[in-house]
A and B are shown apart, each in its own frame.
Chain A
């Protein structure tokens, strides 16, 4: 039996909608809201979505389940008045610098306020201005524009499983903050930027690097080249009123050339290179049966997350740099000679769907002698803004093509932009080695799809894969892998929903359909390309012949691989118990993470302190407790000076401390 609900006296079919708000959307009525997000938990704080239910009075539509025969009014005189009052209350403390705000075109507060016809704010500003957080390479937080809807907080916690930001304080003073009010740069933020993507206002935005790029272009000295990530081409058009997912590669290249880029290359080219390197690394590990599963390492948000949270899995991460950094390394190695430009003058700009790439390019290991492999990263949005700034009408441009050789890619590199794409590309490369039949259309359906965790068992169970997106899903999976509950050979992790197409550098996503259109378009792009397997890319093969010798060679390692290190979640936070800050003292650090603790590290720490105390050696030591790695199996781990002792015992430590004290006495 079909069930109906009456919205403004018109029947609406009620299928499986969980709340009135979703049902109203189906009936083409957009009820204003800030804090309702279909992928996040219910919050119910903005109170804008109130509707009138016959017999029940005003209820919030986000939290109210429909019932059969329910009669709803969505815009009574009272409702409109209340909504206006609430928005006025928000505007009173909102920093209304709209013309200067990068979210001006896509601000929900501005939109709702306009729709409600607010022409005057009768309330006054009651809060002092708070400083912006400018510390992060990727994101800028401006608390003066925050409406405290909590979308960012819930995304970071529920989808990404990080909780780098949360609400702090109470009442008037409530604010969204990183731990201890620190900058995002100093905490466990992985720079995925999804907080900015879900923010309804300009309270969290992507940090702009447009000025640096204009400077380089206008300097006259720099030779500015671009690399464009696969996901950019299926989203940029949205900023120019093209339908979601429409492929705009050619027009985009033309626009970049007009802007002043000397060469335009494709990150999909270096993605092909990544496939070759990573697949070979995997095959080698698989044959030796070591360090499995191999985790992909293209996503810089995931890499930072793993460094913070899964130090014990760092050895399993593929040592391959991401396509962006492989491109940068090859570009700075080869282009100066090929183009006849001094290395210092070559300026590599990445156009990425991603905010974390801004952080990645600044990692110290990707700079040599003061020259970064990638100089600056622009997001899709920033590129769109530059195009607009220059007054270029993207729609009217004649499509152009990428420059060779680094502009030539196969479909394998292109599908990197989708969740599952890296896995599929690696499979296409390695299919022969595992006797996996590759279908005519080269589509490996097993790893495609949109669910947060997808698993595939190939080659008669000899090859087990998992594809996850969203770091919370990664967390669940990693915990299972660590505990031995799950076993895989390859695990692909992308931090953003849907992979790079859903990156936070892309134009703001308003619904799932939009994200899906991009994904479909990217797969379609692969289909229309002449080549689909990385090993078929002639320019890649040429690169091996002329520069890299063979996959995973010494030279390849120098240029294309990297290493990872354990990071603390919060900068400079160690529990110092005595003598902190004195540089010349012998530094003693005792791990008190769960595993070391269970093995008696606390007792060692207490007795060590006691010993130092009794012997009045306090002046020689700086003793502290730390978490070196949560579940390391070598505990108790203790470091004294520059020595690290695993399986430490009390007598052993006593002796070493005495010795250290002796030399200093």
Chain B
């Protein structure tokens, strides 16, 4: 039986003997930017100087108990991918971004051997140009409340000792040795922890339903089929802190009486698959997972299943079908998975982020957990901030934080169409991925939580947050999301299969200038029918981007269908006819042929066309002798 305290003490003792700890981010983003080369170069450069270096500090490794100059690890995603590759040097707390192999010598010389800063590698505020030393100062981090992500990007995901040293698996131990299943369900119900994957259902209550089922075989399934485009927190957790997910699953298994678990990961996340597989293996090797967990006599084993490329498998019943080797099509509920789930057995499905928070809740205690967030949505939530915003990346904030704080402060402001920070350029934010809704300036100060978002036609969903500036056409955006959901519809139920397709066709008409007011009416009606009647949550939420934009950007739709004009000029077919003032000689010919009087201008002065009046008949274009109109 593993003695967690002993592992922790031994690891900490070894750690204290290391002078410096260097963390190179090895998340997918940083790897793409070359962080693995940076890691190797750093290691070599340090070794060349005759410094003692270790890359895997193990508690049971007696060699680790000698003094090391440098302890180097590759971490999971630190969230600030845009600035990667990221290198952190502790204990000074220096964070370097955009590190290239050619920077290595200087880093070793100045910041590892000595404690000097290299100004140019620090993070600079894009507006003020101010340099920040590290995480402890950079607003992107300081404004966050990292809880679930805390260890992500900080610990070595492949080193279980480090996880244990940071308090890992103590919650699982407590769950298996000091709590009954009933106690656990009660504790998590009281904590108010809600599912982070979409619906926001109470985790403790879900467990309780499964616990009540009388069945010898039960399953815990971790939903890592994070398909929402623009959301990647689950990937980051699986890559950066896989043991937290395992521990969460263990606690869930103890709570419902399950002895087998599955982690379902998207195939698009190969690194996450590798990391979670390794972590499970290591946990088994250590005796943490196995047939007699912490001497409780309870058994729990975890399998990993890679998805095969179907967004709909994020829906829980579809995910179960997929594990069973079937087409990933959702099934009607009831029966709920808690009653009849995987292979017909009671099954609890929680998503990655939720499971990663499970040990945190126990570690912190209910009161501390509830101290953040809102009364009905306690705790923190990770959002993937992307789009037209200065700082993109993963952020974790307490529920109740406003969009304004997230976009303008943590995100560093909105980028306008020229790539400059300009908060006036803010137009909308799409929350909750393709199933979410588009929110506007008027929602900037609404405290975000499950219920407030639901009330305004959006949803927390998986936490994707795409910022859009004023060059974005909302009709085109709705069309983009509809293309996605339409493409990813499993095709089982009529409203989702046929309805999303019809909606897409109508949106295409609108952006192509073929839409009428009837199109908008039918679009609304079809959207509502799909929302109400679809079989699964994905179908029910598929019309959200359309319905929310119809609600908040109605004028934009109307401009498309009535004036045949795209206000952002994003829709090519609706880009208005205009007169080039340089070429126009002011002959007035066009003004005279215009059947609707859309052209104005004095003789020998450049003329202009009023796009709202223009019907794009093209009469002026063919009349102009100077080819000034197009």
| A/B contact in complex, CB under 8 angstroms | yes
Please tell me which one of the listed residues A47, A60, A85, A174 contacts residue B525 in the complex, with CB atoms under 8 A apart: A85
Binary interface encoding of chain B residues 316-357 relative to chain A, with 1 for a CB under 8 A from any of its CBs, else 0: 000000000001010111100000000000000000000000
Enumerate chain A residues within 8 angstroms of B332, measured Cβ to Cβ. Answer: 42-44, 60, 62-63
Which residues of chain B in 487-519 are interfacial with respect to chain A, using CB atoms and an 8 Å cutoff? 487-495, 497-499, 501-502, 505
Interface residues of A (CB under 8 A from B): 42-48, 50, 58, 60, 62-65, 78, 82, 85-86, 89-90, 92-93, 122-124, 126, 147-148, 167, 169-174
User: Which of A48, A50, A78, A148 is within 8 Å of B497, CB to CB?
Assistant: A148
Does B532 interact with chain A (Cβ within 8 Å)? yes
Taking CB atoms, residues of chain A closer than 8 Å to B493 are 44-47
Q: Given B489, B491, B498, which contacts A90 in the complex, CB threshold below 8 Å?
A: B498
Q: How many Å lie between the Cα of A90 and that of B529 in the bound state?
A: 13
Which B-chain residue is minimally distant from A166 (CB atoms)? B327
B147: chain A residues within 8 A (beta carbon) = none
Indicate if the CB atoms of B526 and A85 lie closer than 8 Å. yes
Contact A171 B497 (CB under 8 A): yes
Given contacts A123-B498, A126-B498, A126-B505, 16 further A-B contacts (CB under 8 A): A47-B534, A58-B533, A65-B334, A82-B532, A86-B533, A89-B494, A89-B495, A89-B498, A89-B529, A124-B502, A167-B327, A167-B329, A170-B327, A171-B487, A171-B489, A172-B491
Pick the contact of A126: B331, B501, B526, B534 (CB < 8 A): B501
Contact indicator B486/A171 (Cβ below 8 Å) = yes
The docked-state distance in angstroms from the alpha carbon of A92 to that of B499 is 10
B521-536 contacts to A (CB < 8 Å): 522, 525-526, 529, 532-535
Instruction: From B331, B486, B529, give the contact of A172 (CB < 8 A).
Output: B486
A58 touching B334 in the complex, CB below 8 Å, given contacts A46-B493, A173-B491: no
Instruction: Please tell me if B172 contacts chain A, counting CB pairs below 8 Å.
Output: no
Beta-carbon contacts under 8 Å, B454-490 to A:
486-490
Can you give 19 A-B contacts (C-beta < 8 A)? A44-B535, A47-B493, A58-B533, A60-B332, A64-B334, A82-B532, A86-B498, A89-B494, A90-B494, A90-B498, A123-B502, A123-B526, A124-B505, A148-B492, A170-B310, A171-B490, A171-B491, A173-B491, A174-B497
Known: A167-B327, A169-B491, A171-B488. A89 touches B499 (CB 8 A): yes
Tell me the nearest residue of chain B to A48, going by C-beta: B494
Chain B residues near A170 (CB-CB < 8 A): 310, 327, 489-491
> Closest Cβ of chain A: how far from B290's Cβ, in Å?
32
Residues of A within 8 A of B334 (CB): 63-65
CA of A147 to CA of B497, assembled, Å = 11
Would B533 and A47 count as touching, CB distance under 8 A? yes
Q: Considering the chains assembled together, what is the distance between the CA atoms of A44 and B333 in angstroms?
A: 9
Are the C-beta atoms of A126 and B532 separated by less than 8 Å?
Answer: no
User: How far, in angstroms, from A148 to B488 measured CA to CA in the complex?
Assistant: 17
Q: How far is the CA of A212 from the CA of B123 in the complex (A)?
A: 84
Q: Which residues of B contact A167 (CB under 8 A)?
A: 327, 329, 491
Residues of A within 8 A of B488 (CB): 171
Q: Which of A46, A65, A122 contacts B494 (CB 8 A)?
A: A46
Residue from A47, A78, A86, A172 whose CB has the most chain B CB atoms within 10 Å: A47
Q: Is the CB of B522 within 8 A of A122?
A: yes
Interchain CB contact under 8 A, A47 and B497: no
Q: Which residue of B lies closest to A50 (CB)?
A: B533
Q: What chain B residues lie within 8 Å of A171 (beta carbons)? A: 486-491, 497
Q: If A58-B533, A124-B502, A172-B501 touch, does A148 touch B491 (CB 8 Å cutoff)?
A: yes
A122 nearest in chain B by CB position = B522
Contacts of B492 on A, CB cut-off 8 Å?
45, 148, 174
Per the bound structure, the CA–CA distance linking A60 and B498 in Å amounts to: 18
Measured CB to CB, the residues of B under 8 A from A are 310, 327, 329, 331-334, 486-495, 497-499, 501-502, 505, 522, 525-526, 529, 532-535
What residues on A are CB-neighbors of B331 within 8 Å? 42, 44
CA distance A173 to B491 in the complex (A): 8
**A122 — which chain B residues lie within 8 A by C-beta?**
522
The winner among A64, A78, A122 for most chain B CB atoms within 10 A is A122
Q: In the bound complex, what is the Cα–Cα distance between A286 and B331 (angstroms)? A: 50
Write the nearest CB–CB distance from A56 to chain B, whole angstroms: 11
Q: Chain A CB within 10 Å — which of B327, B498, B535 has the most?
A: B498
Find out whether the CB atom of A47 lies under 8 angstroms from the CB atom of B489: no
In the complex, A512 Cα to B173 Cα: how many Å? 57
Residues of A with C-beta under 8 A to B532: 58, 78, 82
Q: Give 5 nearest A-B pairs by CB, closest first.
A: A174-B491, A44-B332, A89-B498, A63-B332, A171-B489
Bound-state CA distance A93–B497 (Å) is: 11
In Å, the complex CA distance between A155 and B486 comes to 28
Query: Which B residues lie within 8 Å of A45 (CB)?
Result: 492-494, 535
Q: Chain B contacts of A42 at CB under 8 A?
A: 331-332
Nearest chain B CB to A469 CB, angstrom units? 27
A171 to B529, CA, bound (A): 18
CB-CB under 8 A from B498, the residues of chain A are 86, 89-90, 92-93, 123, 126
Decide: A126 and B494 in contact? CB cutoff 8 A. no
What is the distance, in angstroms, from B304's C-beta to the closest C-beta of chain A? 24
Contact of B533 among A65, A82, A126 (CB under 8 A): A82
Tell me the nearest residue of chain B to A91, going by C-beta.
B498
Find chain A residues with CB under 8 A from B501 CB: 126, 172
- Whole-angstrom CA separation of A46 from B495 in the bound complex: 8
Residue of B at shortest CB range from A46? B494
Q: Which residues from chain B contact A43 at a C-beta distance below 8 Å?
A: 332
Contact B497 A172 (CB under 8 A): yes
Set of chain A residues within 8 Å of B490, measured between Cβ atoms:
170-171, 174
Asked if A82 and B497 sit within 8 Å, CB to CB, the answer is no
Closest chain-B Cβ to A304's Cβ sits at a distance in Å of: 27
Residues of B within 8 A of A123 (CB): 498, 502, 522, 526
Complex contacts, A64 vs chain B, CB 8 Å: 334
Q: Which of A45, A148, A167 has the most CB of B within 10 A?
A: A45
Contact (Cβ within 8 A) B486 A92: no
Contact of A92 among B502, B525, B529, B534 (CB under 8 A): B502
A86 near B529: Cβ-Cβ < 8 Å: yes
Q: With A and B bound together, what is the CA distance between A170 and B488 in angstroms?
A: 8
Bound complex: CA of A169 vs CA of B327, how far in Å?
9
Residue of A nearest to B521 (CB): A122
Asked if B491 and A47 make an inter-chain contact with CB atoms under 8 angstroms apart, the answer reads no
A93 contact set on B, CB distance < 8 A: 498
* Residue from A62, A147, A169, A170 with most neighbouring chain B CB atoms (10 Å): A170
B47 to chain A, nearest CB (A): 47
Measured in the bound complex, the distance between the Cα atoms of B502 and A92 in whole Å is 9
Please give, as numbers and ranges, the residues of chain A lying within 8 Å of B529 by CB-CB distance: 82, 85-86, 89
The complex places the Cα of A85 from the Cα of B499 at a distance, in Å, of 9
Nearest-neighbour CB distance to chain A for B543, whole angstroms, equals 12
Contact between A89 and B502, CB atoms less than 8 A apart:
yes
Q: How far is the CB of B434 from chain A (nearest CB, A)?
A: 14
Q: Which residues of the partner chain A approach B327 to less than 8 Å between Cβ atoms?
A: 167, 170
What CA separation (Å) do A122 and B533 show in the bound complex? 18
A43, A63, A169, A172: most-surrounded residue (chain B CB, <10 A): A172
User: How many Å lie between the Cα of A392 and that of B73 in the bound state?
Assistant: 90
In the complex, how many angstroms separate the beta carbon of B623 from the nearest chain A beta carbon?
36
Q: Is the CB of B494 within 8 A of A47?
A: yes
A48 to B534, CA, bound (A): 10
In the assembled complex, the Cα of A124 lies from the Cα of B498 at a distance in Å of 10
* CA A171 to CA B501, docked complex, whole Å: 9
Contacts of A92 in B (CB 8 A): 498, 502
List of A residues within 8 angstroms of B489 by Cβ? 170-172
Q: Name the CB-closest residue of A to B491.
A: A174
List residues of chain B with CB within 8 A of the CB of A63.
Answer: 332-334
Please name all residues of chain A whose beta carbon is closer than 8 Å to the beta carbon of B487 when the two chains form the complex.
171
Q: How far is the CA of A43 from the CA of B330 in the complex (A)?
A: 9
CB-nearest residue of chain B relative to A58? B532
A92 CA to B331 CA in the complex, in Å? 25
A176 to chain B, nearest CB (A): 11
- If A58-B532, A63-B332 touch, whether A86 touches B495 (CB-CB below 8 Å) is yes
In the assembled complex, the Cα of A78 lies from the Cα of B505 at a distance in Å of 25
Query: In the bound complex, what is the Cα–Cα distance between A633 and B438 (angstroms)?
Result: 66
Separation of A78 and B529 alpha carbons in the complex (Å): 10
